[in-house]
Amino acid sequence: MSSDRVRPTFSAPQPPGAAGGAGGAAPAATAGSWPRLGRLDGVCALVTGAREGLGLATARALGERGARVLLGGRSAARLEPVVASLRAEGVDASSFAADVSVASELDAAFAAAAEAGDVPRILVNNVGVRDRRGVDTLDTAAFSALLGTDLVAAYDVTRRFLAAHGERPGGAIVTISSIAAVRGRAGDVGYAAAKAGLEGMTRSLASELGPRGYRVNAVAPGSIATESNAELMVDPRFSEVVRTRTALERWGRPEEIAAAVAFLASGEASYITGHTLVVDGGLSTLF
């Protein structure tokens, strides 16, 4: 199925003064000239790291809004049952198997998608791994490897996403950061550095790509109840920290992050770019 034919939410750059173009005010919308707010029908979305956790919740949220979703992960076999279960829910889903830190795998996955007629117009840079070691034990090679997967790979995927558009630019990029980008924590130095880098990258790409019809934003989750936090969630001390240090006194749910990503990816956020939306139940606002 080709998902590049209908692009209701995005359009190539307009001349100055036109809706979405550079300069001047957008003209008043005429009846039927705007997509239905929040819908993503006919738009193809690539979500990296979508086999479980926030990526899977995001793929589901985008799919429920009508997008065709490509689910990223390192293994086609592991993605298969996840794709099947989303399809059973009525989501138009396929797998996008590639390790984001391996250029040749990304090339092959983008080529396979193009072959199938899929040109993503929404990119969710979601892959983010952790190495909870401090400066004395996280050696430079390990620090660099972590940045390679969490920061450099997002840049690499973004470049390929843009290149796939050729002479027809336009789309939305949402990158998953963390409150670790702006708050410090002992034993998390590599992850925090990568997330801070992603937020800087988001702002600069927004400036650079806005004139070409792209919006670039980030979402910074707090403590979310995902598989990757399974051990912390059964640790009563950590759950007490979450309860007492969030205004909402609880862990966040994956779909609460997914809703923020879907909003930023959709036409509802048509004038928002270069922004990091913190979704943390108030964790970073208390002291």
Which residues are marked as active site? 191
Residues β-bridged to residue 192: none
The Cα–Cα gap between 252 and 232 comes to 13
The Cα–Cα gap between 37 and 263 comes to 10
Residues β-bridged to residue 278: 220
- Binding flag, residue 229, ligand NAP (CB under 6 A): yes
Candidates 4, 13, 39, 52: give the one binding ligand NAP (CB under 6 A). Answer: 52
- Binding flag, residue 101, ligand NAP (CB under 6 A): yes
Candidates 218, 224, 261, 265: give the one binding ligand NAP (CB under 6 A). Answer: 224
Q: What is the DSSP string of 74-112?
A: S-HHHHHHHHHHHHHTT-EEEEEE--TT-HHHHHHHHHH
- Binding flag, residue 49, ligand NAP (CB under 6 A): yes
CA nearest neighbour of 160 among 207, 219, 96, 210:
96
Region from 12-20, 112-120, 121-129, 241-249 binding ligand NAP, contact rule CB under 6 A: 121-129
- Binding flag, residue 246, ligand NAP (CB under 6 A): no
- Nearest distance from C-beta of residue 58 to ligand NAP, angstroms: 9
Q: Which of residues 138-157 bind ligand NAP (CB under 6 A)?
A: 149
- Binding flag, residue 99, ligand NAP (CB under 6 A): yes
Number of Cβ within 10 Å of residue 218's Cβ equals: 27
Binding mask 178-217 for ligand NAP (x = CB under 6 A): x---------------------------------------
Region from 13-21, 88-96, 122-130, 136-144 binding ligand NAP, contact rule CB under 6 A: 122-130
> Given the complex with ligand NAP, which of 14 and 229 has the nearer CB atom?
229
- Nearest distance from C-beta of residue 52 to ligand NAP, angstroms: 4
- Which helix (H) or strand (E) element contains residue 141? helix 140-147
Binding mask 62-81 for ligand NAP (x = CB under 6 A): ----------xxxx--x---
- Binding flag, residue 245, ligand NAP (CB under 6 A): no
Cα torsion angle, 30, 36, 37, 39, sign: negative
Give the strand pairing for 214-221 and 68-73: unpaired
Candidates 3, 9, 202, 223: give the one binding ligand NAP (CB under 6 A). Answer: 223
Q: What is the DSSP string of 160-229?
A: HHHHTTTTS--EEEEEE--GGGTS--TT-HHHHHHHHHHHHHHHHHHHHHGGGTEEEEEEEE-SB--GGG
- Binding flag, residue 54, ligand NAP (CB under 6 A): yes
Number of Cβ within 10 Å of residue 2's Cβ equals: 12
Candidates 127, 138, 242, 283: give the one binding ligand NAP (CB under 6 A). Answer: 127
- Binding flag, residue 128, ligand NAP (CB under 6 A): yes
The Cα–Cα gap between 264 and 272 comes to 7
State the residues that interact with ligand NAP by CB under 6 A.
48-49, 51-55, 72-75, 78, 99-101, 126-129, 149, 176, 178, 221, 223-224, 226-229
